[in-house]
Amino acid sequence: MGNKTVRLLKKSEIKRGVKRLAQQLNDDYRERSPIIICILKGAFVFLADLIRELEIPLKVDFLFVSSYSDSTRTSGVVKILKDISIDIEGEDVLLVEDVVDTGLTLSYITNFLIRKNPKSLKICSLLEKKIRREKKIKIDYCGFHIPNRYVIGYGLDFCEKFRNLQDINTMELLQ
């Protein structure tokens, strides 16, 4: 089995997309001080670029979940591997995710976080694949709509590899 990769979004396009999202967030969160929760591991590169474009006072925390077990297919089971460490009760919370596919992961995470009584809970995802959606999820801020392909790079992995690539590439699995 070999893998063929094709570039989907190059570094400069991603950068422009991140800036555009940051402008919206700078406007919408003006006068507020949100807690930004990065969903690990995939969103860490996006988070690092996004927060450096934000001009609002903010806090950062991390929620470590696993939804895919070393394959390109969702298991449907979401496990919280590490909970957040900041108290979000009464706070404005912004979830930062890499990609929404079936929506199972974010649906589980939002239910989990809502029980902690935040004042508001919004979602910012770099990428969104619409076609395989199983759970209705409102993505408040979306960087790019992408086709139904497995993607790697810019934090996104295949079997834990390729997170370091600067572009986002589609990966065709060849049998």
- Give the other-Cβ count within 10 Å of 158's Cβ: 20
Give the neighbor-by-neighbor strand order of the sheet with 151-152.
2-9, 168-174, 151-152
42 touches Mg ion by CB under 5 A:
yes
Number of residues that bind ligand IMP (CB under 6 A): 16
Q: Which of 29, 46, 62, 68: binder of ligand IMP (CB under 6 A)? A: 68
Question: From the DSSP assignment, how many helices (H) and strands (E) are in the chain?
Answer: 3, 9
Q: How far is the C-alpha of 126 from the C-alpha of 43, rounded, in Å? A: 8
110 touches ligand IMP by CB under 6 A:
no
**Nearby residues of 81 by Cβ (< 8 Å), 6 or more positions away:** 40, 64, 65, 66
Nearest-approach distance from CB 112 to ligand IMP, in angstroms: 13
Is the CB of residue 49 less than 8 Å from the CB of residue 15?
yes
98 touches Mg ion by CB under 5 A:
yes
In the complex with ligand IMP, the residue whose CB is nearer, 25 or 100, is 100
155 touches Mg ion by CB under 5 A:
no
Q: Amino acid identity of 44?
A: F
> Of 81-100, which residues contact ligand IMP (CB under 6 A)?
97-100
Residue 68 near which of ligand IMP, Mg ion, none (CB within 5-8 Å, type-dependent): ligand IMP
In the complex with ligand IMP, the residue whose CB is nearer, 18 or 39, is 39
49 part of the active site: no
Cα 135 to chain centroid distance, Å, stands at: 16
37 touches ligand IMP by CB under 6 A:
no
**If DSSP codes are grouped into helix, strand and coil, which group holds residue 101?**
coil
84, two tokens: 């957040």
23, two tokens: 């402008």
Nearest-approach distance from CB 166 to ligand IMP, in angstroms: 16
User: Out of 49, 92, 98, 101, which one is annotated catalytic?
Assistant: 101
Nearest-approach distance from CB 27 to Mg ion, in angstroms: 26
- Could you list the active site residues? 101
Residues of the shown chain interacting with Mg ion in the complex, contacts defined by CB under 5 A: 42, 98
